[in-house]
Amino acid sequence: MFTGIVEKTGRVVRPGRRLEVETGWRDLRKGESIAVSGVCLTVARIDGSRAGFDVHEETSRKTTLPRKRKGDAVNLERALRAGDRLGGHVVQGHVDGVGKVRRSGKWLVVETPLAMQLQPKGSVTVDGVSLTVAELKADHFTIALIPTTLRVTTLGRAKKGDRVNVETDHLAKGPRGPGLTKELLIRAGFVD
């Protein structure tokens, strides 16, 4: 489990199904979980501060990891320990799907069918970053990014057209779930 509070960014050393990331951490242990741009991965290999991960084909289908190239920056967060503070929200690292950046900068707009699973003013994780939904429409959501988030995470380098990992807030799923039509959601006031 994670909080969506990114600890640092790392660099992809080897892309692909045997992903290798320069983390900067020298106390890595095999078997520990690390969120890499929001994707929960298990450390399989260690070489100094480099972590090697085996990326399953299911993970490749549902995330942006296959698009990563050597040198690309990734957001990193280590798993929670009992007693740690929850600074963001409860994040599983189980990415629900990919979104496309419509607008970047202080206002990040992400186009995704997953918007239908979000709550107005609720939490969402984008590339591993815990964020609050500022505006919600049927096919996209908008996030206000503070200067710290722009500086510390990869979201400060996001560009229009970029693909991002999206994890909806699993604790808040409810009235926007499957079976509700857009018309019902409009009448209920959830979307415009």
pLDDT tens per residue, range 73-126 = 999 999 999 888 888 899 999 999 999 999 999 999 999 999 999 999 999 999
Domains of the chain and any CATH numbers: 8-78 (2.40.30.20), 97-188 (2.40.30.20)
Share of the chain above pLDDT 90, in %: 83
User: How far apart (Å, rounded) are the C-alpha atoms in residues 159 and 150?
Assistant: 12
Question: Kind of pairing, strands 163-168 and 107-111?
Answer: unpaired
**Mean of the per-residue pLDDT values for the chain?**
91
| Residue 51 near residue 76, CB atoms below 8 Å | no
* pLDDT at 179 > cutoff 50: no
Q: Which two tokens stand for residue 89?
A: 């929200």
pLDDT at 14 over 80: yes
Please give the average per-residue pLDDT across 152-166, as a whole number: 98
